[in-house]
Structure 1
């Protein structure tokens, strides 16, 4: 590790109590590990929840943890069994490492592993730190022409890839996406890459819808309090030329949108819940059942990082447009305050060059 003797991390202790402090330096990598130096980290909604509320869903901050999981890094050292990476490689990290031996892992659904360990999910530390160790099997090299900031977007882009794969977005698909935040925009890009013929996004923020149109949305809907569910469904029907989308992807976490995707999906189509909102929502289940709408959930991703890297490397996705704010590592708290304000789109912290 050379002459570096100090490691720092953005640590949250409890709700509204976080700062950059000195943290322990990682040990040398084990046989299947890599030692990484962090380059850039994007701020996710879950990070904001841990910082501002001290918890996200059922995961509670009970002891100090380092935040961050949308990461680009550079390899500093490798374990004895690592063959596909070498010091100096730029990489991205899939933050959730499963046990690789349970029923779910053996069955190809490792994202559902009950013993999974994920960056910045209590009690596990994240990557908003100078140095960290990671399992080599979940560390992927990125092409030279993909920037550090773009590489840090591979993780949320993988969420979008997983939702499109799981809902079978393909050539000719007509897709509704509710929520034009980062995940909604990444999902728009992924859906287009998978061949969707038409993609419509809804949101309550016109600035975000404007960006959605700039990066490929065919149509957008600015949702207002004055509109009823019935009016929204009819508006959506109009934008799909008198029909309804065969696939609806909920990316906002808002209960109203969880209802809307069921009501606005074509009979026989698929509605998938990606956004994380309240644990209980009143849904029009009878209507969905009568019309045989398939209802799916999506959790993180599995086998999606290589695809997301290829998409980013293709140059067909306008990822750079999503990085609206950039901060130095020392200003991490200010970065989190900016992200929480809802200004812009994706806030990126550049830890090192």
Structure 2
């Protein structure tokens, strides 16, 4: 019997490229312009400071934003105006360090936090660096991402992985940190009821983090029955399939079927869809907290009167901030949250475009692209 994808993840091997000396070849998967990829050799990144490290990228998770840049050439104000390397959910091996680096060593496996703030503005100094206006975020024009052989970061944004956490799990620390950030904004505590809209990777991880923090009821809402079925086996205590009804009617059905007569203590929307946001506001308990994690249409209409009359708190959530990566890794380390279960597809670097095509067709849940020179004979296709 062929091993499962989860079993095969533990058998990844790194194959050295002997055709060129160490640190001389940096193969990259480049978005040339909207809809067009090509492979190119880029210069190996130099360490910008004595506090930087050079990482060989071993695994990268494919995010919806990467696919959006490929299909549309922009996300909001961020436009692809020159060739761009995509990818930002990555983990790898430290291969070189600056002379002042003290927290990581050569040969250690690390999860990469892919946004580097200025570290001097009021937001950075106030502990909210994810709001830094000068943030240099991987795969956000004009900054290249991680789908290449090498990537460089300050040591502060490289997090050493415990030995039993696989490199694929390390790549998924990035989306897990988004869920952690959302949960911390919501202030989830033991015994609360949590309603999560969207059973994609972020929504599923929000469910998992909520359970890990002690939520007693975690209800996953989506339109696809297959995703809801997975959510129930993964982290949700119950599920609800959105019906062709008004937001108010769907909210009433959710509250009735889930026995939350007063509504949910916390609502997290991971869809950005107007219908889900409206439904979530109606299903929110008086005095509850609504966290907007997913992004869709920039301008939406939702029942603000409900927020006011319930004296609810509506919060926006943006990426992750201080402590989120550390907490995400600790949740994995303590096995309070699992991410291997989300990985349904894996591709060698030479087949990266197939990964993009698969995600665009909504195949599976999470796809991994291995770095150049990383091979696994057991994971060679999307089956």
Question: What TM-score bracket applies, with the shorter chain setting the length?
Answer: over 0.9
Q: Measure the CA separation in 1 of the matches of 2:359 and 2:201.
A: 11
1:336 to 351, 356, 370: 356
Structure 1 segments (4+ residues) deviating >4 Å: none
Aligned pairs for 1:154-165 (under 5 A) are 154-165=173-184
Give per-residue Cα distances to partners, 1:94-142, cap 9 Å, x unaligned: 1111111001011111110111111111100100100111111111100
Question: What is the Cα deviation at residue 317 of structure 1?
Answer: 2.1
Q: Measure the CA separation in 2 of the matches of 1:81 and 1:65.
A: 30
In the alignment, what sits opposite 1:233? Answer: 251
Question: What is the Cα deviation at residue 80 of structure 1?
Answer: 0.8
In the alignment, what sits opposite 1:52? Answer: 71
Secondary structure of the 1:38 match is strand
Aligned residue-pair number: 352
Secondary structure of the 2:58 match is strand
TM-score (norm 1): 0.97
In the alignment, what sits opposite 1:282? Answer: 301
Q: Measure the CA separation in 2 of the matches of 1:320 and 1:91.
A: 17
Question: What is the Cα deviation at residue 4 of structure 1?
Answer: 4.5
Does the 8 A contact of 2:243 with 2:250 survive in 1?
Answer: no
Q: Measure the CA separation in 1 of the matches of 2:260 and 2:251.
A: 13
In the alignment, what sits opposite 1:142? Answer: 161
Farther-moved stretch of structure 1 (14-23 vs 40-49): 14-23
Secondary structure of the 1:267 match is strand
Q: Measure the CA separation in 1 of the matches of 2:72 and 2:141.
A: 13
Q: Does 1:103 align with 2:130?
A: no
TM-score (norm 2): 0.89
Aligned pairs for 1:255-334 (under 5 A) are 255-303=274-322, 304-334=324-354
Does the 8 A contact of 2:247 with 2:276 survive in 1?
Answer: no
Structure 2, unaligned stretches of length 5 or more?
1-19, 375-383
Aligned pairs for 1:198-237 (under 5 A) are 198-225=217-244, 227-237=245-255
Cα 1:134–1:3 shift into 2, 3 Å = same
Q: Measure the CA separation in 1 of the matches of 2:263 and 2:23.
A: 58
Does the 8 A contact of 2:23 with 2:44 survive in 1?
Answer: no
Q: Measure the CA separation in 2 of the matches of 1:15 and 1:340.
A: 14
Give per-residue Cα distances to partners, 1:47-102, cap 9 Å, x unaligned: 11111110112211111110000001100000011001111000011111111100
Question: What is the Cα deviation at residue 30 of structure 1?
Answer: 2.7
Cα 1:193–1:102 shift into 2, 3 Å = same
Structure 1, unaligned stretches of length 5 or more?
none
In the alignment, what sits opposite 2:17? Answer: none
In the alignment, what sits opposite 1:187? Answer: 206
Give per-residue Cα distances to partners, 1:282-317, cap 9 Å, x unaligned: 111112211111110000011200100011112232
In the alignment, what sits opposite 2:193? Answer: 174
Does the 8 A contact of 2:111 with 2:170 survive in 1?
Answer: yes
Aligned pairs for 1:59-78 (under 5 A) are 59-78=78-97
Does the 8 A contact of 2:91 with 2:111 survive in 1?
Answer: yes
Does the 8 A contact of 2:84 with 2:143 survive in 1?
Answer: yes
